Amino acid sequence: MSARPARRRAPQQERSRQMVERIVTAGREVLVAHGYDGASTNRIAAAAGISPGSLYQYFPDKDAVVGEVLGRYLDDLETRVSRAFLEAVPARDVADAVHATVVALLDVIGEQPDLHRVLAEQLPRTAGGRRVAFARRIDELATMALLGRGVPPERARVTAWTVVRTVEHVTTSYILERPGFDREVVVAELTRLVTTHLGGSAPGVS
Amino acid sequence: MSARPARRRAPQQERSRQMVERIVTAGREVLVAHGYDGASTNRIAAAAGISPGSLYQYFPDKDAVVGEVLGRYLDDLETRVSRAFLEAVPARDVADAVHATVVALLDVIGEQPDLHRVLAEQLPRTAGGRRVAFARRIDELATMALLGRGVPPERARVTAWTVVRTVEHVTTSYILERPGFDREVVVAELTRLVTTHLGGSAPGVS
Amino acid sequence: MSARPARRRAPQQERSRQMVERIVTAGREVLVAHGYDGASTNRIAAAAGISPGSLYQYFPDKDAVVGEVLGRYLDDLETRVSRAFLEAVPARDVADAVHATVVALLDVIGEQPDLHRVLAEQLPRTAGGRRVAFARRIDELATMALLGRGVPPERARVTAWTVVRTVEHVTTSYILERPGFDREVVVAELTRLVTTHLGGSAPGVS
Amino acid sequence: MSARPARRRAPQQERSRQMVERIVTAGREVLVAHGYDGASTNRIAAAAGISPGSLYQYFPDKDAVVGEVLGRYLDDLETRVSRAFLEAVPARDVADAVHATVVALLDVIGEQPDLHRVLAEQLPRTAGGRRVAFARRIDELATMALLGRGVPPERARVTAWTVVRTVEHVTTSYILERPGFDREVVVAELTRLVTTHLGGSAPGVS
DNA sequence: AATGAATGAGTGTTCATTCAT
DNA sequence: AATGAATGAACACTCATTCAT
């Protein structure tokens, strides 16, 4: 009653955190293995080794679980891509900025390609909005960068929008389709495509 | 039950064809109005004016109906885009070919944007394969065109693949996101992006 | 195709009516045996010898089934009690009218005492309103009768209300409690109680 | 664990009694606020400021808690009504006795009308028996009173039973239905109804 | 062929009760 | 004693599919 008052609750919170972790992990597995429609709460609970009722101690409903799984992935994706983009833009030339962004994106997607597939193919209203919202954020950053390079506002917006969609989907397609060529090749190709369009000096063809 | 055995089949096939037609049309309406999850077989049958049981006389299961709806849409899309591409490639320069293809694609998508949205956002493994298959066909054609222009084989393949994915997804995004700028602007932007990359003379900025 | 066009649908409707009947009967049994809370849709369906899904072909939800069971009972009760009351009031003296009403009420309740018990003890918002509404209807009729006999309006309302509640609950209690005396004895007692209060000549004590 | 074994029990019992008190109070609040179906054990425990598990240290199951809440209410009701009845019967005339009893009953019910409503409308077998048991006790007292006034035994029993049910339900209905007239009016009406029936001199109409 | 009633496994969710701590 | 996380059977309801007519 006197020794460790402040740390009293820690074990409980730790336990709780672990349960959330187990459920999220199980949710991710089930989502990847069975798709959104097949990701029933009972299946997720079973995969987490808990009873269906326990799941509801930690999440208010099914979509909250799925939302957490996707949310974490998107948090990671957004953080890393944003950072790559923001770090690359000011210092170096266009080619380097594009290259860094593409690589960051491929890194993230490549770590959980199956999850990204579900996200890309079945985004069930849960995550669709977020993806678009992030794309718009990047749109704005890219627009700013273009304005800084003297591109007229209207053109800047269109160009930014187009280029962002291009990078987003070409990287996604590379992971999902697994075409027969190496990652570096796509990176180079995509970088060149975007860089040229943005009017920077194209990187040499490797 | 005995009179005209030989002529029997034709009318029956005709009737059968009409039923399939009604079901597919109903399926499309329901899919667009209620999404994939809301497209229950009962709802489709009701919209077609038939009984749920009859639907199974013509389609083995729900996904077959959905598949047929999407299949026809993709048939149309593929036919028109292929034609635009094939007609444009030989005669004119790169910019024209790209422009014609982009316009054809936007035309098709624009005619049934809601259906395309369902296809793009909810395609539940039903249609994913077909879309990729068509993209690969266009990949090959584009590769051929590049080879004809002296591009080395490996580069040709990568460039074709990248450009095809770019056009596919930027057009789709334009329809689904409804960003604030005019269609002609995107067409010009996308055409310029692709044309420049392919090494053709970029079209003048309108 | 020509012989019996008008009667075509009859068998189907008949079948449908029978299913409704089976479900209502099963619902009544389950309600009586397990109470409102124990009357699960699965249990009712099983008692009716059908699948849970089939129940929903005939009723939109659980309360509709329960409502139908209780509704039919209350329809019967209201019809017979109203008739007894209305037929007795004009022609004969007060004692006869009261007597006829009490007998009618005991007849109806006595036919399905267990159902009446559920109704009286667990009326789960489903039927509560109806019971009160019917009581109010009788209130009005009784008030009218009293006004016709020269009772001042305010007194008439209170007296009618009191007497109606008395008859309603004493009869219900007799069925539910099964006290040790004969039905005729309660009928006589209740008739005398009410008749005296209404100022009529009390019937002789049997 | 060894020091004061003999005095241990008293404080514990006190503590235990307090816990029971808190649970019963919480149970009453929840019962009134959410009805029987909404009175989950978790909700009651939360309202009592204890954990769901602790509740089971003091009560074997949910119905025991509800039973205790209703039991206490009925204890109060029985005590006060019995006293009013017993005090009134010997000394004064019939009208006064009935009047005193009716007033006592309305007092008790009026103090916790919402609880009485739950008791009357949703008593899930938990309390039904007790209510009947109390009514029977009053039956006996009333029968005795009637026998003392020279009424033949069989008649006395029936009359007592009838009158007790009448008073019980008319008062309850007055609280639950909230008809438009004042309490004194019902008291007068009910007193007159019963008194007349018992053969006493009816009180003057106020 | 066509019907549409019937099916039944499945869904997301709740809650009285238990039990390891 | 007290906790509160964990349980799991049960609930109302859905829908792709089947089958007797």
Nearest to A166, CA basis, from A128, A138, A145: A138
Interface of C with D (CB under 8 A): 35, 37, 121-124, 128, 132, 154-155, 157-159, 161-163, 165-166, 168-170, 173, 177, 179-181, 185-186, 189-190, 192-193, 196-197, 205
For residue C16, give the nucleotide whose C1' atom is nearest its CA: E5
Helix (H) or strand (E) segment spanning residue A14: helix A10-38
pLDDT over threshold 60, residue C76: yes
User: Between C132, C179, C197, which is nearest D193 by CB?
Assistant: C197
Direct distance between the N- and C-terminal alpha carbons of chain B, in angstroms, rounded to an integer: 70
Contact C100/C82 with Cβ under 8 angstroms? no
Interior/surface letters D76-96, b for 16+ CB within 10 angstroms, e for the rest: ebbebbbebbeebbeeeebbb
Q: What is the pLDDT of residues D2-52, one digit of tens each?
A: 445 555 556 678 888 999 999 999 999 999 999 998 999 999 999 999 999
Question: What does the pLDDT average to over C30-50?
Answer: 96
pLDDT for residue D88? 85
Nearest to B174, CA basis, from B119, B101, B113: B113
If you measure CA to CA, which chain D residue comes closest to C177? D132
pLDDT for residue B203? 54
Q: What is the pLDDT of residues B145-193, one digit of tens each?
A: 899 889 999 999 999 999 999 999 999 999 989 999 999 999 999 999 9
Q: Which residues contact A127 (CB under 8 A, 6 or more apart)?
A: A67, A70, A71, A74, A119
Q: What is the pLDDT of residues A8-66, one digit of tens each?
A: 445 677 888 999 999 999 999 999 999 988 999 999 999 999 999 999 999 999 999 99
**Any strand F atom closer than 7 Å to D204 CB:** no
Residues of A in contact with B200 (CB under 8 A): none
Residues of chain A with pLDDT under 50: 1-9, 204-206
Residues of C in contact with D106 (CB under 8 A): none
Q: Which residue is nearest to nucleotide F11 (CA to C1')?
A: C40
pLDDT for residue B10? 61
Contact A164/A193 with Cβ under 8 angstroms? no
For A16-83, the DSSP string reads HHHHHHHHHHHHHHHHHHHHHHH--HHHHHHHTTS-HHHHHHH-SSHHHHHHHHHHHHHHHHHHHHHH
Farthest CA pair distance, chain B: 73
What are the Cα distances from residue A137, in Å, to A79, A81, A167, C137? 12, 11, 14, 67
In this complex, how many residue pairs, one in chain A and one in chain B, have their CB atoms less than 8 Å apart?
A: 79
Task: Show the 3-state SS of C38-99.
Answer: HCCHHHHHHHCCCCHHHHHHHCCCHHHHHHHHHHHHHHHHHHHHHHHHHHHHHHCCHHHHHH
Q: Which residue has the higher pLDDT, C118 or B54?
A: B54
Helix (H) or strand (E) segment spanning residue C133: helix C128-148
C173–D158: do the CB atoms touch at under 8 Å?
no
D124–C35: do the CB atoms touch at under 8 Å?
yes
In a 10 Å sphere around its CB, with 0-12 CB exposed, 13-18 middle and 19+ buried, how is residue C36 labelled?
buried
Residue from C170, C195, C205 to probe the interface with D (highest D Cβ count within 10 Å): C170
Chains that touch C (3 or more CB pairs under 8 A): D
Nearest to C74, CA basis, from C170, C168, C184: C168
Q: D189: distance to nearest CA of chain C, Å?
A: 7
For residue A53, give the nucleotide whose C1' atom is nearest its CA: F7
**Any strand F atom closer than 7 Å to D147 CB:** no
Residues of A in contact with B170 (CB under 8 A): 162, 165-166, 169
**Any strand F atom closer than 7 Å to D46 CB:** no
Q: Rounded to an integer, what distance in angstroms lies between the CA atom of residue D164 and that of residue D131? A: 12
pLDDT for residue B3? 46
Give me the torsion for CA of A36, A41, A43, A45, rounded to 10°.
Answer: 130
If you measure CA to CA, which chain B residue comes closest to A185? B158
pLDDT for residue C8? 46
> Please, where are the H alpha helices in chain D?
9-38, 41-48, 52-58, 62-91, 94-111, 113-122, 128-148, 153-177, 183-198
**Any strand E atom closer than 7 Å to A34 CB:** no
**Any strand F atom closer than 7 Å to C53 CB:** yes
Full set of structural domains in chain D with CATH: 1-59 (1.10.10.60), 63-198 (1.10.357.10)
Q: Which residues contact D57 (CB under 8 A, 6 or more apart)?
A: D19
For D18-64, the DSSP string reads HHHHHHHHHHHHHHHHHHHHH--HHHHHHHHTS-HHHHHHH-SSHHH
Which positions 50-69 on chain D have a beta carbon less than 7 angstroms from any atom of strand E?
52-53, 55-56, 61-63
**Any strand F atom closer than 7 Å to C40 CB:** yes
DSSP B92: S
Strand F nucleotides with an atom less than 7 Å from a protein beta carbon: 1-20
Give me the torsion for CA of A69, A72, A75, A78, rounded to 10°.
Answer: -60
For B29-69, the DSSP string reads HHHHHHHHHH--HHHHHHHHTS-HHHHHHH-SSHHHHHHHH
pLDDT for residue C205? 42
Strand E nucleotides with an atom less than 7 Å from a protein beta carbon: 1-20
Q: What is the pLDDT of residues B100-121, one digit of tens each?
A: 999 999 999 999 999 999 888 8
Q: Which residue is nearest to nucleotide E4 (CA to C1')?
A: B51
Contact D104/D88 with Cβ under 8 angstroms? no
**Any strand E atom closer than 7 Å to B50 CB:** yes
Tell me what the pLDDT averaged over chain B comes to: 88
**Any strand E atom closer than 7 Å to A43 CB:** yes
pLDDT for residue C46? 97
**Any strand F atom closer than 7 Å to D40 CB:** no
Which positions 137-196 on chain B have a beta carbon less than 7 angstroms from any atom of strand E?
none
CA of D63 to C1' of E15 (A): 14
pLDDT for residue D120? 85
Q: Which residues contact D69 (CB under 8 A, 6 or more apart)?
A: D24, D27, D28, D31, D115
B193–A193: do the CB atoms touch at under 8 Å?
yes
Residue from C154, C164, C197 to probe the interface with D (highest D Cβ count within 10 Å): C197
pLDDT over threshold 60, residue C3: no
Question: What does the pLDDT average to over C186-191?
Answer: 97
Interior/surface letters A109-130, b for 16+ CB within 10 angstroms, e for the rest: beebeebbbbbbbbbbebbeeb
pLDDT for residue D94? 85
Q: Rounded to an integer, what distance in angstroms lies between the CA atom of residue D183 and that of residue D171? A: 10
B154–A181: do the CB atoms touch at under 8 Å?
yes
pLDDT for residue D202? 53
- Name the amino acid, one letter, at D108: V
Backbone phi, psi, residue B27, to 5°: -60, -40
Q: Which two tokens stand for residue C104?
A: 């009618």
Q: How confident is the model at residue C4 (pLDDT cuts 50, 70, 90)?
A: very low
pLDDT for residue A89? 75
Residues of chain D with pLDDT under 50: 1-3, 204-206
Q: What angle do CA B147, B150, B151 make, to 5 degrees?
A: 65
